[in-house]
């Protein structure tokens, strides 16, 4: 029997010399680990992401990807792999660096220390205890008292009221820096305790108070875990405990403030965690609807409703869905009328913020109501505990904040209202009233439609739409108003923290671009017209007018604009991964762009340009396509941006001329640089440059072939002619791609950058060539190719270095946004 037990135990421990405990005088070095008794979890040294700094951490074994759940020296990293962890005779864990200096240590226990030993438990808790103690009462120190970014089963969030110890979860600064970030889950002890997510010192989101079954912000059944709330004179905390030990589940607070739940089975030798993001809608943003109102999320959008007896504080803002200032009482409170006040019941609610509440655990609901009526400032009450029919009393005073409606679950709230509001009661609209209202609405709509058809010259006498020639149609719509949201400068200043440098995403010829977060949590990119910008107001209006009419998944979405005094801004959807050049030319980030992602980006850009040239109701030439104007969304899908230089073509227009060449060196074609001619083929040339840059990971304008002094285009053409095409491929891609697909993309890129515009394909052909298998034509020499065996119109000009002067060509160089 002993032999069988030994074999089983050996099977559960990874094949290493690691142990699960550390006695006084023992230590582990950088290449050693402690492994828990069942081989589930281990403690040792690691480097996060691409960082070279070393940290002492705890992680689950055989889990891919590598999942760290606790870090000891999160704010004091080791600069080399010479770290040593040791347990001293006082029962203190110390982390030493190369000079034997202590850079981190566990706290000194107030308990008597007798032959201490450190254990790594299967729960993930790293504990120091007296060796002879058999239970957790003898624990001198434990890692569970000092959470990092991960909440684990058995770990508490809350306070030890005797020692003043606060336990809370805080995010990492970044994926490569585990130092304490700006987001944290904490227990707010004001009023009735509740769990709150903070960003700095401000509340970002509220999980809420405990109602006996769950936190009010997350109602509903929990099948796999037991939730626990303890509140007494010694401590107040919340924790969860897993029922089933055959799987793990942890909750991680990411550097961006999102919550992620990781769970995986314990039975597999190599475990692949499944994770789900914290699916939060706008109603979860703290006080999204302001005070005295309820947020309701229907399908894809939130709406706010004032409580009975309350009206919007600013009706004009409320009518245009600006709800942040909330609602105020319809009539001033009169304490003399308190005996005639009543209570209106709301169901399925997330109860309001309890930081200013009062509570009693022994009162019943009737006593709770009477207590509220006795106090003029009391505005609502509810059961403290909803189990077994409800018990306890929770009272709110003055304003009610951060409520939402749930479709099911939720809780009852009793709102105090004057008798007149009770008489108006819910549900008094009769069926007859509804029928009359519907009839009036239908009659009104029909009448308006008839008047419109009769008076509008677009329709003939029979009410059918007349055919309009394209010229008249364009004239009619040339100056039409654009249906876009207009933002106030004060709103954008608040969203960008007064356009702080910390929120600055980049700067180009137009001006700086800032990240902004509206009060409802919506993220935006705010592009601000610089007063020194060469791009004038006309170009600003041009971009608004053009992009507002364009809708395509590979075009960035314009959300709105702002014009106040001298300030002019464009507001776009926020792209978390910024622009393509930040990835493809960065030695670290380019590794995230494997070949399938690069091919997806190449194809997506092509579809976006095709839409501009052919599939939209406007024919648009972008004129400034480049990697810094290709933004990447969360999934690295490309979106074309910056339409300040774009031009609108008539349906039968082939090309146009300009005396002022505006674009970016390295992406503009020869005919545009030399003669000011631009057309669809100008964008095709720029696209070809982008394709070759994506494949090679090199900038065209910075590249110089050391042997032949070619730019990237000439170098690629030379390799193609010599049958060495794959040598252009970015080295970080290795052998992970399909050579035939890479070669086809390079050939398409070379076809697009041919010297003569008429030789270049249009974008519809490009899209077909990228996804087809037919043989492609042989590309001619590219633009700006200056080998001796090639002669073309602008060759003599190109040899003059003055051509590359921005001032000489009047080129507006627009850097990455």
Q: Measuring CA to CA, how many Å separate 685 from each of 611, 707, 714, 748, 757?
A: 17, 25, 14, 11, 8
624, 642, 683, 730: the catalytic one is: 624
Is residue 33 classed as helix, strand or coil in its secondary structure? coil
Instruction: Determine the pLDDT at residue 242.
Output: 83
Q: Measuring CA to CA, how many Å separate 688 from each of 633, 694, 786?
A: 22, 10, 18
Token pair of 575 as six digits: 């792209």
Q: Please write the tens of the pLDDT for every residue from 17-61.
A: 458 899 999 999 999 999 999 888 999 999 998 899 999 999 998
Report the alpha-carbon distance of residue 60 to residue 35 in Å, rounded: 9
Helix, strand, coil in percent for the chain, rounding step 5: 25, 30, 45
Report the alpha-carbon distance of residue 96 to residue 457 in Å, rounded: 85
Report the alpha-carbon distance of residue 760 to residue 491 in Å, rounded: 46
The dihedrals phi and psi of 378, each to the nearest 5 degrees, come to -70, 125
CATH value of 577-809 in 3.40.50.150, 1.10.510.10, 3.40.50.1260, 1.10.1740.10: 1.10.510.10
Report the alpha-carbon distance of residue 713 to residue 725 in Å, rounded: 12
DSSP 616: S
Report the alpha-carbon distance of residue 318 to residue 304 in Å, rounded: 9
The dihedrals phi and psi of 564, each to the nearest 5 degrees, come to -135, 115
Q: What is the sign of the dihedral through the CA atoms of 797, 802, 805 and 811?
A: negative
The answer to whether 79 and 47 have CB atoms below 8 angstroms apart is no
Determine the angle formed by the axes of helices 739-752 and 595-610, rounding to 10 degrees.
30
Token pair of 483 as six digits: 């249906």
Instruction: Determine the pLDDT at residue 186.
Output: 96
What value does the mean pLDDT take over residues 756-766? 93
Residue 613: other Cβ atoms inside 10 A: 20
Q: What is the sign of the dihedral through the CA atoms of 749, 752, 756 and 761?
A: positive
What lies within 8 Å, CB to CB, of 490 at 6+ separation is: none
Residue 508: band (very low, low, confident or very high) from pLDDT cuts 50, 70, 90: low
The answer to whether 644 and 510 have CB atoms below 8 angstroms apart is yes
Q: Measuring CA to CA, how many Å separate 754 from each of 72, 602, 670, 782?
A: 58, 18, 10, 4
Instruction: Determine the pLDDT at residue 299.
Output: 66
Q: Please write the tens of the pLDDT for every residue from 261-279.
A: 877 766 654 455 555 555 5
Instruction: Determine the pLDDT at residue 790.
Output: 45
The dihedrals phi and psi of 594, each to the nearest 5 degrees, come to -70, 180
Report the alpha-carbon distance of residue 568 to residue 539 in Å, rounded: 11
Question: What are the residues facing 235 on neighbouring strands?
Answer: 160
What are the residue boundaries of the structural domains of the chain, listed by start?
Answer: 1-144, 147-279, 284-424, 431-467, 469-574, 577-809
Residue 533: band (very low, low, confident or very high) from pLDDT cuts 50, 70, 90: low
- DSSP, residue by residue, 74-133: TTS-BSSS--EEEE-TTS-EEEE-TTS-EEEEPPPPSSPPSSEEEEE-TTS-EEEEETT-
Token pair of 141 as six digits: 């120190």
Instruction: Determine the pLDDT at residue 338.
Output: 58
Q: Answer yes or no: is pLDDT of 162 > 80.
A: yes
Short-list 21, 20, 18, 22, CA closest to 86: 22
The dihedrals phi and psi of 25, each to the nearest 5 degrees, come to 90, -20
DSSP 459: B
Report the alpha-carbon distance of residue 100 to residue 614 in Å, rounded: 69
Instruction: Determine the pLDDT at residue 91.
Output: 92
Short-list 229, 438, 418, 249, CA closest to 338: 418
Residue 467: band (very low, low, confident or very high) from pLDDT cuts 50, 70, 90: very low
The dihedrals phi and psi of 396, each to the nearest 5 degrees, come to -115, 150
Instruction: Determine the pLDDT at residue 584.
Output: 94
Preceding omega of 369 cis (within 30 degrees of 0): no
The answer to whether 158 and 237 have CB atoms below 8 angstroms apart is yes
Instruction: Determine the pLDDT at residue 764.
Output: 92
Token pair of 562 as six digits: 């702002």
What value does the mean pLDDT take over residues 336-357? 87
Residue 444: band (very low, low, confident or very high) from pLDDT cuts 50, 70, 90: low
Short-list 348, 312, 303, CA closest to 330: 312
Q: Answer yes or no: is pLDDT of 545 > 90.
A: no
Quick check: is 759 catalytic? Answer: no
Q: Measuring CA to CA, how many Å separate 291 from each of 305, 309, 329?
A: 11, 13, 11
Question: What are the residues facing 119 on neighbouring strands?
Answer: 21, 127
Report the alpha-carbon distance of residue 599 to residue 584 in Å, rounded: 13
Report the alpha-carbon distance of residue 276 to residue 263 in Å, rounded: 9
Token pair of 220 as six digits: 């509903």
What value does the mean pLDDT take over residues 628-648? 87
User: 1-144 falls under which CATH superfamily?
Assistant: Bulb-type lectin domain (2.90.10.10)
What value does the mean pLDDT take over residues 375-388? 93
Which residue shows structure tokens 């142990």? 19
Instruction: Determine the pLDDT at residue 173.
Output: 94
Short-list 532, 518, 535, 513, CA closest to 579: 513
The residue count for the chain: 817
User: 469-574 falls under which CATH superfamily?
Assistant: Phosphorylase Kinase; domain 1 (3.30.200.20)
The answer to whether 167 and 107 have CB atoms below 8 angstroms apart is no
Instruction: Determine the pLDDT at residue 632.
Output: 93
Is residue 717 classed as helix, strand or coil in its secondary structure? helix
* Residue 328: exposure state from Cβ atoms within 10 A (0-12, 13-18, ≥19): middle
Report the alpha-carbon distance of residue 793 to residue 797 in Å, rounded: 9
Report the alpha-carbon distance of residue 394 to residue 185 in Å, rounded: 23
Q: Please write the tens of the pLDDT for every residue from 706-752.
A: 666 688 999 999 999 989 999 999 988 877 788 889 999 999 999 99
CA 810 to chain centre: 39
Max Cα-Cα span within the chain: 101
What value does the mean pLDDT take over residues 684-701? 94
Which residue shows structure tokens 């304008």? 701
Instruction: Determine the pLDDT at residue 704.
Output: 74
Instruction: Determine the pLDDT at residue 10.
Output: 35
When the pLDDT of each residue in the chain is averaged and rounded to a whole number, the result is 81
Burial 521-534 (b: 16+ CB within 10 A, else e): beebbbbbbeeebe
Short-list 394, 354, 408, CA closest to 207: 354
Token pair of 688 as six digits: 């070809």
Pinpoint the alpha helices (H) of 669-805: 670-675, 680-696, 712-721, 739-752, 763-771, 795-798
Short-list 667, 694, 696, 670, CA closest to 683: 667
| Out of 221-225, 479-483, 524-528, 629-633, least confident range | 479-483
CA 548 to chain centre: 24
| Out of 279-283, 371-375, 385-389, 690-694, least confident range | 279-283
Token pair of 60 as six digits: 């689950």
Write down the number of H helices and E strands in the chain.
Answer: 17, 46
pLDDT cut 90: percent of the chain above it? 47
Short-list 572, 678, 559, CA closest to 623: 678
Which residue shows structure tokens 């969304």? 633
Instruction: Determine the pLDDT at residue 785.
Output: 72
Instruction: Determine the pLDDT at residue 765.
Output: 93
Report the alpha-carbon distance of residue 690 to residue 771 in Å, rounded: 18
What value does the mean pLDDT take over residues 361-367? 94
- 509 or 665: which leads in pLDDT: 665
Token pair of 4 as six digits: 């069988």
Residue 799: band (very low, low, confident or very high) from pLDDT cuts 50, 70, 90: very low
Which residue shows structure tokens 């007064």? 498
Q: Please write the tens of the pLDDT for every residue from 69-88.
A: 999 999 999 999 999 999 99
Q: Answer yes or no: is pLDDT of 442 > 90.
A: no
Q: Answer yes or no: is pLDDT of 14 > 90.
A: no
Q: Answer yes or no: is pLDDT of 204 > 80.
A: yes
Q: Answer yes or no: is pLDDT of 431 > 50.
A: no
CA 73 to chain centre: 28
The dihedrals phi and psi of 462, each to the nearest 5 degrees, come to -85, 0
Token pair of 469 as six digits: 């020639």
Q: Answer yes or no: is pLDDT of 461 > 50.
A: no
């Amino acid at each position: 029997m002993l032999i069988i037990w030994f074999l089983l135990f050996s099977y559960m421990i990874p094949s290493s010399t690691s142990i699960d405990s550390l006695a006084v005088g023992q230590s582990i070095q950088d290449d050693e680990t402690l492994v828990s008794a069942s081989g589930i979890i281990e403690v040792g040294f690691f480097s996060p992401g691409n960082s070279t700094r070393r940290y002492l951490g705890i992680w689950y074994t055989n889990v891919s990807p590598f999942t760290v759940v606790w870090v000891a020296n999160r704010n004091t990293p080791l600069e080399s792999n010479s770290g040593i962890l040791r347990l001293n005779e006082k029962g203190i864990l110390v982390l030493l660096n190369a000079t034997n200096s202590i850079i981190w240590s566990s706290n000194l226990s107030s308990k008597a220390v007798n032959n201490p030993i450190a254990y790594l438990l299967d729960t993930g808790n790293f504990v120091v205890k007296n060796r002879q103690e058999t239970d957790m009462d003898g624990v001198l120190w434990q890692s569970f008292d000092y959470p990092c970014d991960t909440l684990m089963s058995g770990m508490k969030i809350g306070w030890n009221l005797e020692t003043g110890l606060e336990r809370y979860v805080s995010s990492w600064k970044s994926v490569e820096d585990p130092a304490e970030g700006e987001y944290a889950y904490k227990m707010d002890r004001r009023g009735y305790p509740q769990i709150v997510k903070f960003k700095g010192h401000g509340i970002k989101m509220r999980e809420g108070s405990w109602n006996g079954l769950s936190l009010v912000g997350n109602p509903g059944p929990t099948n796999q875990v037991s939730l626990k709330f303890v509140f007494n004179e010694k401590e107040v905390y919340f924790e969860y405990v897993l029922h089933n030990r055959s799987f793990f589940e942890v909750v991680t607070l990411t550097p961006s403030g999102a919550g992620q739940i990781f769970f995986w089975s314990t039975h597999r030798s190599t475990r692949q965690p499944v994770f789900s993001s914290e699916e939060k809608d706008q109603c979860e943003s703290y006080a999204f609807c302001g005070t005295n109102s309820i947020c309701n999320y229907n399908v894809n959008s939130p709406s706010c409703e004032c409580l009975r007896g309350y009206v919007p504080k600013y009706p004009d803002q409320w009518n245009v869905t600006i709800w942040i200032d909330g609602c105020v009482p319809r009539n001033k409170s009169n304490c003399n009328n308190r005996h005639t006040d009543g209570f209106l019941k709301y169901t399925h609610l997330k109860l309001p913020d309890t930081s200013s509440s009062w509570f009693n655990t022994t009162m019943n609901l009737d006593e709770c109501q009477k207590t509220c009526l006795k106090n003029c400032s009391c505005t609502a009450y509810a059961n403290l505990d909803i189990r077994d029919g409800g018990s306890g009393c929770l009272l709110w005073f003055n304003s009610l904040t951060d409520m939402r409606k749930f479709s099911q679950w939720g809780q009852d709230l009793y709102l105090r209202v004057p008798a007149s509001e009770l008489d108006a009661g819910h549900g008094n609209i009769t069926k007859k009233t509804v029928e009359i209202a519907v009839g009036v609405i239908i009659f009104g709509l029909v009448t308006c439609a008839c008047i419109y058809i009769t008076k509008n010259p677009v329709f003939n006498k029979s009410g059918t739409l007349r055919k309009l020639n394209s010229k008249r149609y364009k004239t009619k719509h040339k100056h039409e108003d654009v249906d876009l949201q207009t933002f106030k400068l004060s709103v954008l200043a608040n969203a960008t923290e007064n356009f702080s440098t910390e929120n600055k995403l980049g700067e180009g010829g137009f001006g700086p671009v800032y990240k902004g977060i509206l009060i409802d949590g919506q993220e935006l990119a705010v592009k601000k017209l610089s007063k020194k910008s060469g791009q004038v107001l006309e170009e600003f209006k041009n971009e608004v007018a053009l992009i507002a009419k364009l809708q395509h998944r590979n075009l960035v979405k314009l959300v709105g604009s702002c014009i106040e005094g001298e300030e002019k801004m464009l507001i776009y959807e926020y792209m978390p991964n910024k622009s393509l050049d930040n990835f493809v030319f960065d030695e670290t980030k380019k590794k995230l762009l494997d070949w399938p992602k690069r091919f997806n980006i190449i194809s997506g850009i092509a579809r976006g340009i095709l839409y501009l040239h052919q599939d939209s109701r406007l024919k648009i030439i972008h004129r400034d396509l480049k990697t810094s104007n290709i933004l990447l969304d969360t999934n690295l899908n490309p979106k074309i941006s910056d339409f300040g230089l774009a031009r609108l073509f008539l349906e039968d227009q082939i090309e146009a001329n300009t005396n002022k060449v505006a674009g970016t060196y390295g992406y503009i074609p020869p005919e545009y640089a030399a003669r000011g001619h631009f057309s669809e083929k100008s964008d095709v040339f720029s696209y070809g440059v982008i394709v070759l840059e994506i494949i090679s990971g090199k900038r065209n304008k910075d590249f110089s072939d050391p042997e032949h002094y070619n730019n990237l285009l000439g170098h690629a053409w030379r390799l193609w002619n010599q049958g060495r095409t794959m040598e252009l491929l970015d080295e970080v891609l290795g052998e992970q791609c399909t050579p035939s697909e890479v070669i086809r993309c390079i050939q398409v890129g070379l076809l697009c950058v041919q010297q003569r515009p008429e030789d270049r394909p249009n974008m519809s052909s490009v899209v077909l060539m990228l996804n087809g298998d037919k043989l492609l034509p042989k590309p001619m020499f590219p633009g700006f190719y200056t080998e001796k065996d090639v002669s073309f119109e602008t060759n003599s000009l190109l040899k003059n270095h003055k051509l590359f002067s921005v001032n000489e060509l009047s080129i507006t160089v627009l850097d990455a946004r």
